[in-house]
Amino acid sequence: MNQVYTLVVYIIPMDQLNSSISVDCVIFGFDTEQLKVLLIERDKSPDERLDMPSGSLKLPGSLIKDTDDLERSAYRILKELTGLDHVFLKQLAIFDRPDRLNNPNDIIWLCSTSGLQIRRVITITYYSLVRILKYNPSKTLLDKSYWIPVKKLPKLAFDHNFIIDSALKELRKKLQAESFGLELLPKKFTIRQFQNLYTEILGKKLDSRNFRKKIHKLDYLIALPEKERKVNHKPAQLYKLDKKKLSKPAKMLVF
């Protein structure tokens, strides 16, 4: 006896969000004084059950579209949520713990703002380093985007405090092994600003005398024949990085 089979075809909208994969961007910035991270305010949820403090902060991130690859999604989402564009992003890690959405409010917020039934989200994170002074925050950043000092982070949404801590550990490791992170310095900088960068990233106080002694051994640090201008203290000598020497194996500052 012949059987008749019915083929059912589901057509998925091209711009449908993937309910289980997201990207988050950890953007570190340095303003010559403090290491900061870029955060955004979480949108208000239409769900009345949600008990969430207004103005709660999170990393720039969102569920990806089924039509986008991960890297393209990261660049698109970062620009849409913060206004930052032409920022080099490097993949950090995958956060896939089954219990990472352990706050019921986070799940309610995700479901109500996306319109999807969400039980678990796997997040692929990207990070970048930018000089804050290179951007004009009043013109570059969108509303509800803020540079927050890493030392003063509040409790963030989801597991974003843990993600930032993980990114910071990676940055600390690379700073001392590869001098990765020196691009946060302005093109011309003082020794104090150089030391501030290490202090902020490593999260510990460094002895100024010992620091100055060590930097004189760095062949990629070039003293310039000029000093600071328009400062209310004794002008300090300015320096710059020799990018060619920095790209080669060199002596690193280890503390």
Asked whether residue 10 is assigned to any structural domain, the reply reads: no
User: Backbone dihedral region of 14: left (phi > 0), alpha (psi from -120 to 50 degrees) or beta?
Assistant: alpha
Quickly state the pLDDT bin for 19 (edges 50, 70, 90). Answer: confident
Quickly state the pLDDT bin for 251 (edges 50, 70, 90). Answer: low
What distance separates the 2 farthest-apart alpha carbons in the chain? 98
List the CATH number of the domain containing 242: 1.10.10.10
Amino acid type, 14:
M
Query: In the listed set 143, 174, 205, which residue is the last one of a domain according to the structure?
Result: 174
Q: Are residues 24 and 68 in the same domain?
A: yes
Q: Are residues 142 and 201 in the same domain?
A: no
Asked whether residue 11 is assigned to any structural domain, the reply reads: no
pLDDT for res 229: 82
Amino acid type, 46:
P
Q: How many CA atoms lie within 13 A of 227 on its CB side?
A: 7
11 burial (CB, 10 Å; 0-12 / 13-18 / 19+) is: exposed
End-to-end CA distance of the chain: 80
Asked whether residue 207 is assigned to any structural domain, the reply reads: yes
Q: Are residues 127 and 188 in the same domain?
A: no
Asked whether residue 7 is assigned to any structural domain, the reply reads: no
* Mean predicted confidence (pLDDT) in 224-250: 81
Asked whether residue 201 is assigned to any structural domain, the reply reads: yes
pLDDT for res 170: 92
Q: Are residues 100 and 213 in the same domain?
A: no
Q: Are 52 and 106 within 8 A, CB to CB?
A: no
Q: What is the pLDDT of residues 100-156, one digit of tens each?
A: 888 888 888 888 888 888 888 999 999 999 988 877 666 678 888 999 999 999 999
pLDDT over threshold 90, residue 38: yes
pLDDT for res 49: 61
The alpha helices in the chain, defined as continuous H runs, are 70-82, 104-114, 137-140, 160-178, 191-202, 208-215, 243-246
Q: Are residues 189 and 233 in the same domain?
A: yes
pLDDT over threshold 60, residue 249: no
pLDDT over threshold 70, residue 247: no
Q: What is the pLDDT of residues 162-211, one digit of tens each?
A: 999 999 999 988 887 777 788 888 889 999 999 999 999 998 888 899 88
pLDDT for res 8: 47
Q: Are residues 36 and 115 in the same domain?
A: yes
Please indicate whether residue 19 or residue 28 has the higher confidence score (pLDDT). 28
* Mean predicted confidence (pLDDT) in 3-21: 59
Query: In the listed set 141, 174, 207, which residue is the last one of a domain according to the structure?
Result: 174
Q: Are residues 50 and 130 in the same domain?
A: yes
Quickly state the pLDDT bin for 2 (edges 50, 70, 90). Answer: low
Q: What is the pLDDT of residues 58-113, one digit of tens each?
A: 999 999 988 889 999 999 999 999 999 889 999 999 999 988 888 888 888 888 88
pLDDT over threshold 70, residue 10: no
Asked whether residue 162 is assigned to any structural domain, the reply reads: yes
Q: Are residues 39 and 163 in the same domain?
A: yes
Domain residue limits at 242: 182-246
Residue 115 is inside which H or E element, if any?
none
Asked whether residue 192 is assigned to any structural domain, the reply reads: yes
Name every residue whose Cβ is closer than 8 Å to that of residue 84 and which is 6 or more positions away in sequence: 27, 38, 78, 130, 135, 140, 141
Asked whether residue 215 is assigned to any structural domain, the reply reads: yes
pLDDT for res 12: 42
Q: Are residues 62 and 138 in the same domain?
A: yes
- List the one residue out of 87, 91, 82, 46 whose CA is nearest residue 62: 82
pLDDT for res 213: 86
Q: Are residues 71 and 167 in the same domain?
A: yes
List the CATH number of the domain containing 44: 3.90.79.10
Domain count for the chain: 2
* Cα distances (Å, whole numbers) of residue 65 to 20, 21, 121, 233: 11, 9, 14, 53
Query: In the listed set 174, 207, 238, which residue is the last one of a domain according to the structure?
Result: 174
Q: Are residues 229 and 112 in the same domain?
A: no
Q: Are residues 159 and 52 in the same domain?
A: yes
pLDDT over threshold 50, residue 9: no
